[in-house]
Structure 1
Amino acid sequence: MKLVEVKLPQQGASMTDGDIVEWLVEVGDAVEKGQEIVEVDAAKASFTVTAPASGTVKTLEKEEDETVDVGDVIATIETRE
C-alpha cells in the first residue's frame, strides 16, 4: 500500500491560497480516482478537488473554513497498490 498526498491545486495564475468550504468525504471512506472530495473557495472562484488515486481516505489535514496555501497537503489517501 502507498500513501498519496492530496495537495491544493492552483486554479489560475493569480491564485495563492483557498478556503476549505466543505469536505465531501470522511476519514475511512473509500474513494475512486477523480471523485470529488472537497469544495474550495478561492478569490473569485469556487471549485472541487478530486482524488488523485483510488483508495481509502487516511487523513484530512485541514479543517473546514481554514485558509490553505497552494501546494499544501490537504488530505492523504492510502492506495490499494
Structure 2
Amino acid sequence: MTLDKLSRGDHFIIERVVIREQEVRRRLVDMGFHSGIAGKVVRTAPLGDPIAVRLLGYDVSLRKDEASGVVVKRDGRGKTGNHKQQGRRT
C-alpha cells in the first residue's frame, strides 16, 4: 500500500521509498522517510492533494504523486490511537 491511499487519522509504518526522481527521493529521506519510521496522516486537502503527515515530531506536506512513491503498512492502531513511540524506528 502507498501513502496516498491512506485517510486522515490513519497510522502507518514506512516500508520503503520508491520514487524514481533522485532529488525528490533524497529530500524525503533527509526529512525522515526511512524504513521502520512510524507516522500518521494528519490532513488531506479537499481534493486529496496535498496530504500532510506527521513523523519524527513534525508535519510534512506531500503532493499526491510523491506520496504514491512511499510504500507503507498500516500499524494497527486505527484512526484514534495515541502511540507514544510515534516517529521512532521500530
Question: How would you bin the TM-score normalised by the shorter chain?
Answer: 0.3 to 0.5
Q: Structure 1-normalised TM-score?
A: 0.32
Q: Where is the helix percentage greater, Structure 1 or Structure 2?
A: 2
